[in-house]
């Protein structure tokens, strides 16, 4: 399964509601996770099984979707959220999307 993330680069301001998209080439059956990677750091799990928030992750992060289309939403952008975000499917094999880099406008 191939994953396509859009946009590849997103400019936003602190306080904005931000939506990142991930589209699979086949049905992912909700087996989709989201990771945040800050510069020079290892990725960190934010969301698993489409909409389950990992322990310790702020509630401003949420996930949704079904079938082939999935979304990560940050309800109110904080400066510390600037990072690259990757989706990851584990329904059929294991595949990452190409990433969305989130920068300050």
Partner 1 sequence: EVQLVESGEGLVQPGSSMKLSCVASGFTFSNYGMNWIRQAPKKGLEWIALIYYDSSSKYYADSVKGRFTISRDNSKNTLYLEMNSLRSEDTAMYYCAKGGYGGYLDYWGQGVMVTVSS
Please report, as ranges, the residues that interact with partner 1 according to CB under 8 A.
31, 33, 35, 37, 42-45, 48-49, 54, 86, 88, 90, 93-99
* Shortest reach from residue 33's CB to partner 1, in Å: 4
Residue whose CB is less far from partner 1, 42 or 79: 42
| Torsion, Cα of 57, 58, 64, 70 (10° steps) | -60
Backbone angles phi, psi at 80, to 5 degrees: -75, -5
Cα of 68 vs its chain's centroid, Å: 14
CB nearer to partner 1: give 36 or 68. 36
Q: What is the nearest approach in angstroms of partner 1 to the Cβ of residue 93? A: 8
Contact present, 86 and 43 (Cβ < 8 Å): yes
CA distance 55 to 2: 28
User: Least distance (Å) from partner 1 to the CB of residue 88?
Assistant: 7
């Amino acid at each position: 399964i191939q994953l396509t993330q859009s946009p590849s680069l997103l400019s936003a301001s602190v306080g904005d509601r931000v939506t990142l998209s991930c589209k699979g080439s086949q049905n992912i059956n909700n087996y989709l996770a989201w990771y945040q990677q800050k510069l020079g750091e290892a990725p960190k799990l934010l969301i698993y099984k489409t909409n389950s928030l990992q322990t310790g992750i702020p509630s401003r992060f949420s996930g949704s979707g079904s079938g082939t289309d999935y979304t990560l939403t940050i309800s109110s952008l904080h400066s510390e959220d600037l990072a690259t975000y990757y989706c990851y499917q584990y329904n059929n094999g294991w595949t990452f999307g190409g990433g969305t880099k989130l920068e300050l406008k």
